[in-house]
Structure 1
Amino acid sequence: MPIYVKKGDLNFQFNSATTQNLDLEPGETKMLSVELKNTGNFAWNSTPDTTLKLGMDVPRDVNSMFIQENIGKGRIWQAPQAVAPGASVKFNLTIKAPAIRTDRTEVLRPVIDGFGWGVGTPLTIHLKNTITEVPFVAQSINAGGSELGKVTRRNYASIKAPIPASGVDSKTIRINLSYFDKVATDVGLNSNYKLIVDNKLKRRVRAFDAVSVKEANGTVTVTVNNSSYQGRVVRIIPVDAEVGVFQLKGYEHRPGWNLALNDNQFRGGAEFRIDGGKLITINELPVAHYLRGIAEVSNGSDPEMIKTLMILARTYSVYYLDPARNKFKDKPYDLDDSPDRSQKYLGYGFEQRSPNVSIYMADVISQVVVYNGQIVITPYFSRSDGRTRSGQEVWGWTNTPFLVSVPDTYCANASADTAAGHGVGLSGCGGSGMAAAGFGYQEIIKYFYKGVTIEQR
């Protein structure tokens, strides 16, 4: 005879502390002992329909950023045996701080899928870090050395971003900052840099030295405090590549949704040269740091969608690092920062606003899309009209059998009126829909790119 259980009887109590405040260094691990009591009126795990799990309640139904026992789709742990009313079950949770500093709270609550969430005081885990503020100051020589303004950023422990010793993420990429349209700019530095002019090391530049760059008569002049240097190519390279961030005061790149922001800070080094008769700025940095500043996915996106986009963006970037496939022929850079020509790159400001992107990127480090043993091109776009297009259909490509048309089933309200983008490869709308439905990043990629594998290179 079937047993019917009324809604609301999934009652519980954590016998251990319900609020855990943890202060861990990046990569540090801590074990939490948890005791959960059944205060309801039916046994947990007594039938397949009463399988009890610990689920992510806030944010709801997403995988934890720091609990290692993730079992997928926002579930952390599953009761190993039946737990009668009044009985308790003990288990451990392994907490590992992400590779970068973060300050995040996650709330866990028992759940029986298909039945409902438990009633009681949930388990709240707050993983925090101590943040101190340091000034990021760009001095202006033209203004007599007065401060152009302070942009506070986190201390070096927070800014520091590891660079893999090997693999595609360790490669150097050069990005043209295409929105830069000035003949001069002041440069702010957060740490020590090296000044190189026409491939010759000129001097060490200290953090917060007054630095300016200008173009005149086809040459570039850089001034550090009261000393000036001229050349065809001026490079400012960080001494510690894992820490260095520079700021271009003459660079205006403000998002329409918040004009108070200006994405003019970038990891890595800056190269100034004349190209096409005008001064350009090239941001030179490791692929791992470049990916942190790619704004093709938001901080609030599903973790599986973030991983998907990071792999596709990495693959796209590394594909064009091959000299035989130079996207910008005869130019001194690999890609630029425009989504119309390359990928949307905003740099360090976006990284600071979107910590989840860096956190989930670390989960898929150096992973790329491969077809027949070769890294391939991985275009992606916003949303389709209900199906994606093949590479041949849009661009006449005959050597991309993995870029075929597929139904964009999970893109809600897809139509010709709402379609946006070229239509080839991943649909951002459809990929997000698949992630929300519980598909993992490998499943999403392999659906939109047929016959591919995902490998660490």
Structure 2
Amino acid sequence: MARLKKNNKKKIFFLIGLIIVCGFWFGMLFFFERKPVLADTTVNEELAADYENYEKYEKYLKYKKRKDYRDYKVAKEKYAFKNIQEKTYYKSQYDKYRLYKKDPVRYRQYANLWDDYKRYRNYKNKYIPLKKYAKYKKYNKPKYGKSEYKNYGSASYKAGWERYKNIMKNEANLGGSALGPEISVGLVSYDKSYSKSNPFTFSANKNYLVKDKNGVVIREVTAATETKIAYAGNGNLKIFDASGTEVQVVEYVNLEAQDGNSDDMIFKVEPNPQLSFNEYRGKLRVRYVDEKDKIWVINFLPLEHYVWGMGEITGTGDNDYNRVMTTSFRTYGYWKIKFSTKYAVEGFKVDATPGNQLYYGYDWEKTHSTIRDAAIETRGRIAMYGERIAITPYSSWTDGRTRSWEERWGSTNYPWCQSVADPYGKHPTKSTVTLEAEGNHMVGLSAHGALNLADEHNWDWDRIMKYYYTGISLNVVY
């Protein structure tokens, strides 16, 4: 009996050891799983606001059509003629009285036709203009006559309606060089009070110019030499260097390459709250935004260079996956350049945070060259649906299927975002509620699904794109 207990103890210790070892290796497999580092790109706020305005203005238009039809019905009852003979008779009387009005002496025999003249005039002026509304009969229903709908006819609702309609029909026609159209990115901002004693410091890899808003050169700076910019008060910025020489300007200054070539111009921005990411290609603008009481540093660069510095992924996945993601980044950026107004006051199209797309600039590009390589391989290509730019929402995980745009956000105007089966991007443990709470809207591309399809199923990047975005084409637009 004692020997049996001893053997049982050995078995128990063996099983415990086996569980620990298996658990360790399972944990290591999970830890080293190749998965994208990205943040969800949700439907942008200005598009949602414009869509809301669009829907409300559409209700107003139907309300107005109902009212126009009902006005037409009243006018028809009061002023229309019963038949062609009656209309012909009153038209003749109307014409005779008009002769009398022109020459009362010569046509005095028509002086007593005033009532007939007025009868036809009312028909002409009060019924005929409304006759075109007879086609709105289908709107003569109570559901179109809610009193609150008349409040949706203001200029602001109409403006949102027009912007949204524009989005639905515009082509990708921004043009641009081989590196694409220019995008403006809000990098970092300070409150004006903080900026007074904490200036931004700039340096560059080659000589650069500091210009005021009118393009006047106010400072020529050699490579690696620092320029400091801070808020001076009264809406002005002050520009100074180590010598203490100070110049003040209104609203903003631009920093750009002295030789005119911004493609190899690298600026360093300090201090930058974005950890160690503080180098950026292209041109910079330091702008005081009075409406927000902030000083913004804004990066201007070609769209391709923007994609090269995208911090949404590490680039360690399959190359077809990297091509999928860089094409999605480019499409999103292209759409933003063309349509975004969210940051119009600040003076840029996107910021560098996950609220748009995570942008780390030249630092990320240097250390994650596979992202740049994939962007070069897909250069100029964006997703389109017919002639429309197919904005490309994506999220990290799904619960086994993606959601249509209509299911998630209520609009039928994005037909390329349909629900598709996604066993490839299904999270192994998390529930739908947890995934949604973590920001996975599950509309459009599933990033882990795309990674799995490229890595484990050998799908080409364009096949993956067309699986998650129904009916799109991948067009070269520059």
Q: TM-score, normalised by structure 1?
A: 0.59
Q: What's 1:336 paired with?
A: 351
Q: What's 1:299 paired with?
A: 315
Is the aligned partner of 1:216 residue 2:237?
A: no
- Specify the SS of the correspondent of 1:188: strand
2:400 corresponds, among 369, 386, 395, to 386
Is the aligned partner of 1:365 residue 2:389?
A: no
2:247 corresponds, among 229, 235, 246, to 229
Task: Go from structure 1 to structure 2 and tell me whether the alpha carbon gap of 1:455 and 1:178 turns closer, same or farther (over 3 Å shift).
Answer: same
Task: Go from structure 1 to structure 2 and tell me whether the alpha carbon gap of 1:264 and 1:304 turns closer, same or farther (over 3 Å shift).
Answer: same
2:366 corresponds, among 331, 341, 352, to 352
Q: 1:439 corresponds to which letter in structure 2?
A: W
- On the 8 A contact 1:180/1:250 being kept in 2, the answer is no
2:209 corresponds, among 187, 194, 203, to 194
Task: Go from structure 1 to structure 2 and tell me whether the alpha carbon gap of 1:179 and 1:390 turns closer, same or farther (over 3 Å shift).
Answer: farther
Task: Go from structure 1 to structure 2 and tell me whether the alpha carbon gap of 1:379 and 1:178 turns closer, same or farther (over 3 Å shift).
Answer: farther
Q: 2:379 corresponds to which letter in structure 1?
A: I
Once the two structures are TM-superposed, the CA of residue 213 in structure 1 deviates from its matched residue by: 0.9
Once the two structures are TM-superposed, the CA of residue 422 in structure 1 deviates from its matched residue by: 1.8
Is the aligned partner of 1:408 residue 2:422?
A: yes
Task: Go from structure 1 to structure 2 and tell me whether the alpha carbon gap of 1:389 and 1:316 turns closer, same or farther (over 3 Å shift).
Answer: same
Distance 2:190 2:321 in 1: 31
- Specify the SS of the correspondent of 2:423: coil
Is the aligned partner of 1:451 residue 2:471?
A: yes
2:444 corresponds, among 420, 425, 437, to 425
- Specify the SS of the correspondent of 1:443: helix
* Number of residue pairs aligned between Structure 1 and Structure 2: 284
Distance 2:331 2:281 in 1: 20
Distance 1:422 1:380 in 2: 8
2:294 corresponds, among 259, 267, 278, to 278
- On the 8 A contact 2:190/2:294 being kept in 1, the answer is no
Q: 1:290 corresponds to which letter in structure 2?
A: Y
Question: Which has the greater radius of gyration?
Answer: 2
Q: 1:246 corresponds to which letter in structure 2?
A: F
Distance 2:248 2:449 in 1: 51
- On the 8 A contact 1:192/1:207 being kept in 2, the answer is yes
Task: Go from structure 1 to structure 2 and tell me whether the alpha carbon gap of 1:233 and 1:243 turns closer, same or farther (over 3 Å shift).
Answer: same
Once the two structures are TM-superposed, the CA of residue 331 in structure 1 deviates from its matched residue by: 3.4
Distance 1:361 1:247 in 2: 23
Task: Go from structure 1 to structure 2 and tell me whether the alpha carbon gap of 1:301 and 1:268 turns closer, same or farther (over 3 Å shift).
Answer: same
Distance 1:330 1:185 in 2: 21
Q: What's 1:174 paired with?
A: 184
Once the two structures are TM-superposed, the CA of residue 293 in structure 1 deviates from its matched residue by: 0.7
Q: TM-score, normalised by structure 2?
A: 0.57
Once the two structures are TM-superposed, the CA of residue 216 in structure 1 deviates from its matched residue by: 2.4
Q: 2:182 corresponds to which letter in structure 1?
A: T
User: Whose strand proportion is higher, 1 or 2?
Assistant: 1
- On the 8 A contact 2:206/2:223 being kept in 1, the answer is yes
- Specify the SS of the correspondent of 1:177: strand
Q: What's 1:249 paired with?
A: 270
Once the two structures are TM-superposed, the CA of residue 416 in structure 1 deviates from its matched residue by: 2.0
Once the two structures are TM-superposed, the CA of residue 198 in structure 1 deviates from its matched residue by: 1.6
Distance 1:167 1:209 in 2: 31
Once the two structures are TM-superposed, the CA of residue 247 in structure 1 deviates from its matched residue by: 0.9
Q: What's 1:266 paired with?
A: 280
Q: 1:299 corresponds to which letter in structure 2?
A: G
Distance 1:391 1:167 in 2: 33
Q: 1:408 corresponds to which letter in structure 2?
A: D
Q: 1:442 corresponds to which letter in structure 2?
A: D
**C-alpha deviations, 1:387-425, integer Å up to 9, x for none?**
111112222222101111111121254442663422111
Distance 1:406 1:199 in 2: 52
- On the 8 A contact 2:279/2:362 being kept in 1, the answer is yes
Distance 1:200 1:426 in 2: 43
Q: 1:331 corresponds to which letter in structure 2?
A: E
Is the aligned partner of 1:321 residue 2:337?
A: yes
Task: Tell me the C-alpha RMSD between the 2 structures.
Answer: 2.0
2:458 corresponds, among 427, 438, 457, to 438
- Specify the SS of the correspondent of 1:359: helix
Once the two structures are TM-superposed, the CA of residue 304 in structure 1 deviates from its matched residue by: 0.5
Q: State the 4+ residue runs in structure 1 displaced beyond 6 angstroms.
A: none
- On the 8 A contact 2:401/2:426 being kept in 1, the answer is no
Distance 2:343 2:450 in 1: 29
Q: 2:264 corresponds to which letter in structure 1?
A: V
Structure 1, gaps ≥5 residues long: 1-164, 255-261
Once the two structures are TM-superposed, the CA of residue 377 in structure 1 deviates from its matched residue by: 0.9
Distance 1:315 1:245 in 2: 25
- On the 8 A contact 2:203/2:226 being kept in 1, the answer is yes
Distance 2:422 2:342 in 1: 28
Identity %: 27
- On the 8 A contact 1:190/1:207 being kept in 2, the answer is yes
Is the aligned partner of 1:205 residue 2:221?
A: yes
Q: 2:313 corresponds to which letter in structure 1?
A: V
- Specify the SS of the correspondent of 1:173: strand
**C-alpha deviations, 1:120-171, integer Å up to 9, x for none?**
xxxxxxxxxxxxxxxxxxxxxxxxxxxxxxxxxxxxxxxxxxxxx9457321
